[in-house]
Structure 1
Amino acid sequence: MTGSDNTNTSNGAADGYRETVFLPTTSFPMRGNLPKREPDLLARWKEMDLDGKILAASEGKPLFVLHDGPPYANGNLHIGHALNKILKDVINRSHRMAGFAVHYVPGWDCHGLPIEWKVEEEYRKAKRDKDSIPVLQFRAECRAWAAKWLDVQMSEFQRLGVQGEWGRRYSTMDYSSEAAIAGEIGRFLLNGALYRGLRPVMWSPVEKTALAEAEIEYHDHKSTTIYVAFPIVSDPTSAEALHGVSAVIWTTTAWTIPANRAIVYNPEITYVVMRVDETDASALAAPGEKLLVAERLVEQVCKDCGILAHHILYTMPGSALNGAIAAHPLRGQGYDFDVPLLPADYVTDDAGTGLVHNAPAHGEDDFAVARANGIEIPELVADDGRYVEWVPLFAGTHVFKAADPVCDALTGVMKQAVATGAPACGLLARGEIVHSYPHSWRSRKPIIFRATPQWFIRMDGETQIREKALKALDDVTFVPAQARNRLTSMVEDRPDWCISRQRAWGVPIAVFVNKQTGDVLRDEAVMERIVSAFREDGADAWYSSDPSRFLGNEYNAEDFEQVFDVVDVWFESGSTHSFVLNLPGLRFPADLYLEGSDQHRGWFQSSLLESVGTRGVAPYRTLVTNGFVLDEQGRKMSKSLGNVVAPQDVNDSLGTDILRLWVMNSDTNEDLRIGKEILKQQGELYRRLRNTLRWLLGALEGFTEEEVVPYEELPELEKWVLHRLTEFDDMIRQAVETHEWVGVYPALHGFCTTDLSAFYFDVRKDAIYCDAKDSPRRRAARTVLDVLHRCLATWLAPVLVFTADDAWTSRFGEDTSVHLESLPVLPEVWKDPELADRWSTLRAVRRIVTTEIEAARRSGKIGSSLQAAVELPVFEDQMQLFENVDWAELAIVSQAELSVIPAEAPKAENGTGTGVPCGAPVVTVADGEKCERCWKVLPEVGQNASYPTLCVRCADVVASGLACSSTAG
């Protein structure tokens, strides 16, 4: 009997002998019915306390610690959550099976603006003013919202088959966590790294708070562009060249003109003074005006400003501008201050004018130049994005609506300058540009840079956090390796860490500031009282307690300002190592952090800086990064495109194991794609794996240890299979050690479909189905099938958590679980590379033979392959390769013989070894009759008169009572 179909009913013998054939029998169904079966298995695991048994089995084993990056508790899980958690689960489960104790403590990030935003949405719907709600009531509503979604997400993670210690999950809003976070802030306070300072930060006018870089995303935005002339009023170094000249700037943030305090040039750039000779009708500039711009940008400036003809009066190096002073174009209207020209090497002549308008309250570079030159940093924009009341001309105007009034004011002064013959002053040209602009990822609204007093952690100076962090990364392993460059460069370039947020739901920066001196109170006893209060009552204690609870008798509360800014949520999640990795069964630092690639600027970085700043070392030994999930066309998922794939929908329609298989069949180092067609393909791959397990279970029906054949007595083919298993054992153990799983499960699928189903199972079906129960060949095959089942079930268990356990309990009983098993330890003697090379060649020859058989079938010469006889011509010097090989069995034909080609085999292309070791096979119709039990066509059929329709082998098996029947057993 033969064929490539692995089902129970294929290749059955004629009715008279069907019951004598060992056809596969198993309770493991062909269809997984995963959406229904998986919840049943989850319930069984809970009933048998599988998690408890896993923990008990880990006692005394070496630790492996994967610290869970906390997802945000504000909605149902999305496909990115599923990808990340499944990856973590595969790594944890495989480490358990490799002999490690794994105590996976899942966590949640529960503070911050996203949750506030959701609660405020409810207020807005009810037309309630959030600011009128008592802060403790508001915080309580935020806590309830986060708790609700934490429970929802925890249930959804468990439905994904993720195994963890859910009973001791952590969240940043637990009282103990809030106390620990306050304690970490205190560490920075006491070591001098925490300070309050004024500098520009990314600010959301909609959410009225500072934002971290990790909270920013970029979208196209239309901005007003303007060219503005600043008349130069003083130049002690080259008065003649700059007399009556106006410096020209170009900016995409017209609203920052009121905040201008300087113009920045590059000493290395060549500048020119050009005289305007002719303009078009739209131009605001007038002939005769003298403008200062970079030499390389003259043509672009003329084009944009409607200047048809010009003349270069002077050419000068940027250094010649040293000491020049301009007037603000709105001088006389409340902007009566000098605008110095200052050098800076970040200025380029690639675009604009080569002169950069400097608004130090609204840009990092601008701020640094102003500070270095002793220029005042004006605070002109309120937290809602409106100009404050003391801003001349524009008070109360929102910055994103200020372009028109600013341009109108600048146009007015330009017209006045033209009318009076004064140097150009004001607007020269206006345009629009669509460019990538930072937005808040929550509100999806554009943000601004705004200088406000904020709390920072110093990256450099005495604490040397930046230097220590970069050094700590030298000892961290990155997967993939190229991720090292990304995180390292981000740490190298980042400014001081702004950790304050002007919100209510979070852990407050629980410090006091002396009202007289402005100094921060650095007192260890005060911090200990704060931490103790938070541990007892949570961070709400900061809002509900009298300050004396924290200050004690040593200080007068009237002398101090109590800070109510809350800490950046990235600081909170970055400090989770301090209150999670000290739990029983865990350790610091963690072996592994695993998150998406966006966390190089988020959790990976904040955890590194927090740990280095308080403990001097990184909190992790290895960082693994996964990509983002896109749709089948490579687009980002969005509701508007209708391309969102929700893990809950996949669970309900296909089953979690399909989703888990998709993860592990993907290159998770890169961005992944998912959609209906891709999931359909994964379903097909799953079906093949399931059929492999099912056929193994069926073919192993009734297997006992007494059948086992020692390795030394196994045929070569069985030894080849065992060698292949050692190769996968090495691959899987290497993946466990390195966390590099890309390609492992596609290779395992290929082994199941190509090496097993399409080759080994096909070749050995005849022996397994039709040989005598105790035949050495059948016992040898079943010995290997036993090993195959154990290996495949355990190797697949970290991924196909439900299917693998079903395949295990179908054989070993409901009181067992594959998740309590270890990775199989395979004997070293099974490794046989020489045998593998030999069988690689034999399989190549087999493909030649089967190609000819298939051609004979298509031509109608034969029906099934068992109707064929094959003659295989072999080169004389290659005959030893074909010894001890039953080619009738290997090619699945009824008869086969070798013939000798009296010549040497042709050399391979590289001139060494052999090329094809045989000639063209000859396929003919086999002589004899068809055996009704095994279907082989043999001349010997009918030799046994008692069984006239059987071959000798089958007649002997049936006669001896060692066939599969109710009487033979």
Structure 2
Amino acid sequence: MCADTPDTIDYKDTLALPKTDFPMRAGLPKREPDWLARWAEMDVYGQLRAKAAADETRESFTLHDGPPYANGHLHIGHALNKVLKDFIVRSQQMMGRDARYIPGWDCHGLPIEWKIEEQYRAKGKDKDAINVVDFRQECRRFAEGWIDIQREEFKRLGVTGNWADPYLTMDFHAERVIAEEFQKFLMNGLVYQGSKPVMWSPVEKTALAEAEVEYHDRQTDAIWVAFRVAGIAGSDALTDLLLDQFGEEKYSDEVQALSADCANAYVIIWTTTPWTIPQNRAICYNPAIKYGLYEVLDTPEECWAVKGEKYIMADDLAEATFARARLEPHQFTRLRDAPPELLDCFTCAHPFEGVPQGGGEWNYPVPLLRGEHVTADAGTGFVHTAPSHGDDDYAIGRAHGLEMTYNILDDSSFRDDLPFFGGLRIYDEKGKPGKANKAVIDKLIEVHHLLARQRLTISDAHSWRSKAPVIRLNRPQWFAAIDKPVGDNNDTYGTTIRTRALTSIDELVKWTPQTGRNRLHSMIEARPDWVLSRQRAWGVPLTCFVRKDTRPDDPDFLLRDEKVNARILEAFEAEGADAWYKPGAKERFLGNDHNANDYEQVFDVLDVWFDSGSTHAFVLRDREDGSKDGLADLYLEGTDQHRGWFHSSMLQACGTRGRAPYRGVLTHGFTLDEKGNKMSKSLGNTVAPEDVTKQYGADILRLWVAQSDYTADLRIGPEILKNVADSYRRLRNTMRYLLGAVSHFTEDQRVDAKDMPELEQYILHRLAELDKTVREGYSKYDFQGVFQQVFNFCTIELSAFYFDIRKDALYCDGDTARRRAARTVMDILFHRLTTWLAPILVFTMEEVWLERFPADDSSIHLQDMPETPADWRDATLASKWQMVRRARRAVTAALEIQRTDKVIGASLEAAPVVHVSDAAMLEALKTTTFEDICITSAITLTDAPAPDDAFRVTDVPEIAVVFAKADGQKCQRCWKILPDVGTHSHPATCARCDEALS
């Protein structure tokens, strides 16, 4: 016996086992902050900018950050948004572009002002008694504090960017540019003062944009109100109708009958806003709806209807209306049609007309007007119309010259001198219902004009800040006209803001997903003029002056003077917008060019959406690290921003530069809990980013984003995060195996692709395919697709196939060409996988990279994705190896049954006979070492017919497997069972292992 017997040699020590210190447990929560500190010390973001500046071939890519609001800790929606942006910036950079990212914050506006007011109220201080500049400074300090907090929270998520120099809408230069952009609207003739219904918050005492409103259920009183027909004016249309129906002989009789029927008739309207009845100016109906005249035949007790009265309403709604008035079908009857030709002739009286002590307030005619907005879905088919309190009402009022009313004050109270209702509020200072609705209803009952009432729940507008209901209220406001030609001679995409916006949407912007286009297009297509003004203090003021002795429709009402504008901008650049509020500001800005006594200074502030809509100008256009052409390649926000930032940015840029400020728009859904419910602190189902990073690490949160379909609403919760963590562990193990496999790999061991075994060439082919998939996926922002493809490749094609097959060669071969080829492929895999996954798993891929390249200046995030040689692709070879893999699957399935039945313990104990009925497949298998591919000690391939009891799998009909045990002894080094074991100088080994030991 030789000296090196199994008793004297530990063969395990002779194996080339993977070596790595890379831990199986990630420990991300503790380790991630260290990598953040390292990146900051290295200034990785700055190095990337320098790298790009030195390489003229890199095209720029600018993702413009939609500014979050600086007033609280981040929620999971913030994390989703910023992580998606980081995926894009990092992937574009690693695919060879110069991808810059300037984070920003929205700093002005009501939420911050509201917080300062709350602090004042808690201290018993009166905001109006505080100097406005001092108040604004407190708002500024509040915003600065939250910016610092949120910046660190965003950085903790691994988000890269120019954090040292973000953009802030309250920076002096930003405030100057916002004012300058407003001045462009002013000088181009787009700004006007008007009085029309706007969303008004009685609690916050300011107008709100649609984006500042959310809808919640609230209870209200719906009422059915009777408007007496006060007059019928004849018309040619009515005459022709009656003549056609009754002829000349009966015409006069029918006219008399019609007059008698309608003389005491009432038009019945329905509304859920009783407080608007005092402001009624007309009644609308739709000629497409069929109306009838009904008579009350009898009434029960406790009924407001009166026997003998006649009511006009839509036929489809009559029965429900009478039921609400407590009338049974036998207690009313239909008398005749009430066609449009008749309704056009009606004039009604206001319910409060002639009421004692009314002071004649409501002694005016109430006409019936046609309106397509009227439907027969609910109510009576007649819509009470108050032009001061609704968009449709306002439009009808404008078309017919109806008078606007000013009965409601800023706090939602009726003006003090309004009869019966003076001083009563719709909502109190806390947003609770006031006494106005009840008072109006009680008065209607008193004057016998209420037919019915109902308590119901409706979805209605609320301020998303105070959570209090809002009302539609006409107030003098400043508007931007979106259908007026813009006087800037920049008409490439249209002459008005609306036409420019619609053209931009259709021709200049790529939408991801495409449904975003439809949503914004419909909003822009139907939207009214933009309400620019807010009655608050913390913001950029509307930097304009109005002449005291003129009306808003006078051409000289607004001062348009470039010299005045220039003085304002110079002051804002040096002092910020506070300059507008300092003593002597009016005289300073008007200078010697105008008499200050002739002008009033406007102190309304701009809608904050105008602020954020202007960011393209002071970020993309003005900053050195902005965009070369002042346009963004991408805006990315949640779907709510179709009515928010996407919308306002579109309108603002179309007004000042003639087109959309972006070339692409990507939208994501909202975050929900695991059950699909909206997150709420009161329900206790919120998931805070900070909690996830503390328990799992930021990479797990990032991986959750990558595994989710962000185009829809995303669910997150404990169980979902556990599943994400499991996927992470599997991927981490793949990277750990790779690190061990390439340990001490050197360039002199590298093998050219053409000299590799077919299996390695096949893996390179798959890498080439996957490289194209990954790049296309990142380019299309399909992060879920990218990660799923890479993850499946790692788990199915590497761990379960290639690694499983090649571990024998890696561990047991000596310095063979096969082992060198495998290690070369492993090195290639390492560089591809780390760069493909680095945009998603920023911390883990840095850890993997540094484990192999631990130099002080080393970082995966300074790398680009390696280019893939075209000659790696080999479709013919790939087709062959797909057949090989199918055959392998049949064999491994057959062996698994033997393992389950404990016939064998490991596949190396088997030497099956594989019957192959397909000649091409058989030939393909014979050109491989199929026993190595199936991890058996031997395999017999044959085209002989398989016995009936041979193992088969349904989807591989060409293969049938007959199990047999391997013949020979077990090699103590590689564990294969072979006949030659015991015949070599190392008697406990096979020939391959004996050679390796020698």
TM-score for both structures, normalised by structure 1: 0.94
SS in 1 for 2:485: helix
Residue among 554, 567, 578 paired with 1:529: 567
The Cα of 1:14 is off from its aligned counterpart by: 11
Structure-1 separation of matches of 2:633 and 2:757: 44
The structural deviation recorded for 1:168 is 1.8
Kindly provide the amino acid, as one letter, of the partner of residue 806 in structure 1: E
Q: Given that residues 890 and 956 in structure 2 are in contact (C-alpha distance below 8 angstroms), is that contact kept between their aligned partners in structure 1?
A: no
Aligned pairs (5 A) from 1:189-588: 189-237=186-234, 239-308=259-328, 309-331=331-353, 332=355, 333=358, 334-399=361-426, 400-401=433-434, 402-414=436-448, 426-463=449-486, 464-474=496-506, 475-518=508-551, 519-546=557-584, 547-582=586-621, 583-587=623-627, 588=630
Q: Secondary structure at the match of 1:65?
A: strand
Q: 1:51 deviation in Å?
A: 2.2
Note if 1:55 corresponds to 2:49: yes
The yes-or-no answer on 1:744 pairing with 2:786 is yes
For 1:867 and 1:732, how far apart are their aligned partners in 2? 40
* Structure 1 position 692 matched with structure 2 position 686: no
User: Are 2:72 and 1:78 aligned?
Assistant: no
Q: Distance in 2 between matches of 1:271 and 1:13?
A: 107
Is residue 953 from structure 1 mapped to residue 992 from structure 2 by the alignment? yes
Equivalent residue letter for 2:576: G
Q: Is the 1:894–1:926 contact (alpha carbons within 8 Å) kept by the matching residues of 2? A: yes
Cα pair 1:268 1:319 within 8 Å, conserved: no
Contact preservation (8 Å) 1:326, 1:338: yes
Is contact 1:592-1:622 (8 Å) kept?
A: yes
Q: Residue 150 of structure 2 aligns with which residue?
A: 153
Matched letter for residue 844 of structure 2:
T
**Contact persistence 2:175–2:577 (CA under 8 A):** yes
Cross-structure match for 2:26: 32
Q: 2:970 aligns with which of 899, 912, 930?
A: 930
1:667/1:743 contact within 8 Å kept: no
Q: 1:915 offset after TM fit, Å? A: 7.5
How far 1:385 sits from its partner (Å)?
1.3
1:840 pairs, out of 873, 882, 895, with: 882
Give, in whole Å, the separation in 2 of the partners of 1:745 and 1:640. Answer: 35
- Mapped to 2, the partners of 1:620 and 1:890 lie a distance apart of 53
Is 1:196–1:453's contact at 8 Å kept on the other side of the alignment? yes
Residues of 1 paired with 2:7 and 2:395: CA distance?
Answer: 88
Q: 1:110 to 1:371 in 2, by over 3 A?
A: same
Could you say what the CA RMSD is over the residues aligned between the two structures, in angstroms?
1.8
Residue identity matched to 1:465: I
Contact 2:915/2:945 (<8 A) preserved: no
Provide Cα deviations, 1:293-324, integer angstroms capped at 9, x if missing partner.
11221111111111221122221212321242
Structure-1 residue corresponding to 2:128:
131
Query: Helix, strand or coil: the match of 1:471?
Result: helix
Post-superposition Cα deviations, 1:507-562, rounded to whole Å, max 9, x if no partner, equal 01111011101311111211111111111111000001411111111111111111
The aligned residue for residue 172 of structure 1 is 169
3-state SS of paired residue (2:24): coil
Q: 1:446 to 1:15 in 2, by over 3 A?
A: farther
State the secondary structure of the residue aligned to 1:166: coil
What amino acid is aligned across from residue 410 of structure 1 in structure 2? L
Aligned-residue offset at 1:28: 1.5
What SS class does the counterpart of residue 959 from structure 2 fall into?
coil
Q: Which residue, 833, 846, 860 being the options, matches 1:805?
A: 846
Query: Would the aligned equivalents of 1:268 and 1:317 in 2 still touch at CA under 8 Å?
Result: no
Whether the aligned pair in 2 keeps the contact of 1:874 and 1:917 (CA below 8 Å) is no
What SS class does the counterpart of residue 336 from structure 2 fall into? strand
Distance 1:310 1:13 in 2: 111
SS of corresponding position for 1:782: helix
Indicate how the Cα distance of structure 1 residues 686 and 86 shifts in structure 2: closer, same or farther if over 3 A, else same: same
**Other structure's SS at 1:742 match:** helix
Once the two structures are overlaid, the 10-residue window that deviates more, 643-652 or 233-242, is: 233-242
2:916·2:960 contact (CA, 8 Å) conserved in 1? no
- Compute the displacement of 1:13 (Å): 13
Number of the residue aligned with 2:776: 734
Question: Are the counterparts in 2 of residues 479 and 740 from structure 1 also a CA contact under 8 Å?
Answer: no
Aligned residue pairs total 927
2:940 is paired with a residue of what secondary structure?
Answer: strand
Q: Which residue number corresponds to residue 619 of structure 1?
A: 661
2:378 counterpart SS class: coil
Q: CA deviation at 1:491?
A: 0.4
Q: How far apart in 1 are the matches of 2:702 and 2:716?
A: 12
Contact 1:511 1:563 in 2 (8 A): yes
Q: Which amino acid aligns with 2:657?
A: R
Q: What is the distance in 2 between the residues matched to 1:443 and 1:135? A: 22
Instruction: Write the distance in 2 (CA, Å) between the matches of 1:168 and 1:778.
Output: 51
Counterpart selection for 1:704 from 746, 764, 767:
746
Deviation at 1:390, TM superposition (A): 2.1
Q: Does structure 2 conserve the Cα–Cα contact (< 8 Å) formed by 1:222 and 1:432?
A: yes
* Other structure's SS at 1:377 match: coil
Paired residue type of 1:282: E
SS at structure 2 position matched to 1:342:
strand
> 3-state DSSP class of the match of 1:198?
strand
The Cα shift of 1:129 comes to 2.3
Deviation at residue 15 of structure 1 after TM alignment: 7.3
Q: Distance in 2 between matches of 1:948 and 1:234?
A: 120
Alpha-carbon contact 1:223-1:252 (below 8 Å) kept: yes
Aligned to 2:798: 756
5 Å-filtered alignment, 1:113-132, equals 113-132=110-129
Describe the shift of the 1:125–1:876 C-alpha distance in structure 2 as closer, same or farther (beyond 3 A).
closer
Q: Is 1:940 equivalent to 2:980 in the alignment? A: yes
- TM-superposed deviation, 1:833: 2.4
Partner in structure 2 of residue 646 of structure 1: 688
Residue 353 of structure 1: how far off its partner (Å): 0.7
Q: In the alignment, which residue of structure 2 is the partner of 1:100?
A: 97
Whole-angstrom CA distance in 1 between matches of 2:72 and 2:23: 36
Q: Secondary structure at the match of 2:439?
A: helix
Q: Secondary structure at the match of 1:203?
A: strand
Q: TM-score, normalised by structure 2?
A: 0.91
| Native 8 Å contact 1:632 1:675 kept in 2 | yes
Residue equivalent to 1:880: 923
CA distance in 1 between partners of 2:694 and 2:505 (Å) = 42
CA contact (8 A) 2:890 2:959 kept: no
Structure 2 equivalent of residue 827 of structure 1 = 869
Offset at residue 31 of structure 1 (A): 1.1
Task: Describe how 1:786-797 pairs up with structure 2 within 5 A.
Answer: 786-797=827-838
C-alpha deviation, 1:241, in angstroms: 4.2
Contact 2:412–2:425, Cα closer than 8 Å, also in 1 = yes
CA distance in 2, matches of 1:81, 1:837: 46
Contact kept? 1:501, 1:567, Cα under 8 Å: yes
Correspondence 1:886-901 to 2 at 5 A:
886-901=929-944
Q: Distance in 1 between matches of 2:122 and 2:768?
A: 63
- Larger deviation, residues 259-268 vs 89-98: 259-268
